[in-house]
Amino acid sequence: MTDHKTATREQWLAARLELLEAEKEFTRQRDELTRRRMAMPWERVEKSYQFELSRQQWLKANAHFLAREKRAAGLG
């Protein structure tokens, strides 16, 4: 079992506010990283790809994408 420290309400609040500021900074950094990732150029794919799926796998994947399109269109 862990041995947790105890604190007064004021100590807890000060520690919580410090942690909250660190969480906000982390969120800002994550948002900036996401922005940079989304701004990266795409790489042209010259090679033709063909996926090898069994009929059952293809039907399952197709059903998934059709359901996704239906939800995106607000129909599902």
Q: Where are the domains of the chain?
A: 9-40+50-72
Q: What percent of the chain has pLDDT over 90?
A: 54
Report how far residue 26's alpha carbon sits from residue 20's, in angstroms, rounded to the nearest whole number. Answer: 10
Q: pTM of the predicted model, to two decimals?
A: 0.55
* pLDDT given at position 2: 78
* pLDDT given at position 50: 81
Average pLDDT over residues 60-74: 84
* pLDDT given at position 43: 93
- Indicate the average pLDDT of the chain: 91
* pLDDT given at position 34: 97
